Amino acid sequence: MPKFPPDSFHGIHAILYALYDADEKLDRAAMRRQVQACLACGVHGMAALGLATEVAKLTESERRTVMDWVAEDTAGAVPLALTIFGSSVAEQLSQVRHAESVGADWVILQPPAAGAFAASEYIRFFGRIADATSLPVAIQNAPALFGRGLSADEIRDLVTQHPNIRLLKGEGSVVEIAGLIERTAGRVPVFNGRGGLELIDNLRAGCRGMILAPDCIDHAVAAYEAFRRGDEPAAERAYQAMLPAVVFVMQGIENFLCYGKRLFGARAGIATHDRAPAQQPVAAGEAMVARFAAALGPLVDRRSAAA
């Protein structure tokens, strides 16, 4: 049974990067340090196997390995979400079963990468998986990134037909997210991403939280905590501190994976390696990473600061 009920999910959840060694293999020690750094920053949840984790580059065995590692390293400290990737119901259900076995608190379903279909087909696809697990299910709806997705009205129909779909993971503007919250009558908690763009306005619009890669995660946590206690000026200051780096990183998925991961590595003291094919950094980009890393500082251990 999940330790955390979905109604309790809130705040800033870290979605982990896939960290490789010089031989392009998943780096166990680096992945553990990434989880530890996120927990030290005070994240409210942990997630893995989304776009930041380069899930499409991982074999099915590697995806299971990442589930094992992240569950072990998170150790129930915060809610754990695992994104489910696969081109068929059978493949996604196999991944769901493994997520269940490692103690995930919820799963996030991505649309299948194969083909492009009518909304009704995606609704049936998601529904079959959601109905087959007792874990709370979220849908990652990111048509701009995946080239396929559902409208706000279609999502409303999906969650009405399948009550185990308890959360939504968006990748859209505040205006889009506000419309989604309105069309679902606020019945389903919504988390946004997009690297933290429009973070404070997402919270004002009713987002339960944000799921973000860890390059600026400490500043995002500080912004959320300030907003939560009613100090919007402090929340805006924390957000403004991270915004230039977020804008730099969020210039497309490959740019995000190239420079976001390097920004995290620079701030966390972890060497960065790529798994081909991958966008290669250029001198101007590396200089910007170094400048943003210096401005943001090393990742903050908020637990030590609180003590």
Domain boundaries, the chain: 6-231
Distance CA 152, CA 135 (A): 23
Question: Could you tell me the two tokens for 223?
Answer: 């912004």
211: left (phi over 0), alpha (psi -120 to 50) or beta: beta
Structural domain 6-231, CATH architecture: Alpha-Beta Barrel (3.20)
Q: What is the pLDDT of residues 121-142, one digit of tens each?
A: 988 999 999 999 999 999 987 7
Mean of the per-residue pLDDT values of the chain: 93
Q: Which pLDDT score, from 0 to 100, does residue 155 have?
A: 86
Q: Which pLDDT score, from 0 to 100, does residue 152 have?
A: 81
pTM beyond cutoff 0.85: yes
Q: Which pLDDT score, from 0 to 100, does residue 53 have?
A: 97
Average pLDDT over residues 151-162: 87
| Alpha helices per DSSP H over 103-173 | 119-130, 143-146, 152-161
User: Has residue 249 got a pLDDT over 80?
Assistant: yes
| Residue recorded with tokens 């907003």 | 227
**Between these two residues, 116 and 272, which has the higher pLDDT value?**
272
User: Has residue 192 got a pLDDT over 50?
Assistant: yes
Q: What is the pLDDT of residues 254-289, one digit of tens each?
A: 999 999 999 999 999 999 999 999 999 999 999 999
Q: Which pLDDT score, from 0 to 100, does residue 184 have?
A: 85
Distance CA 171, CA 202 (A): 11
- Spatial neighbors of 35 by CB under 8 A, at least 6 apart, are 16, 46, 69, 70, 73, 74
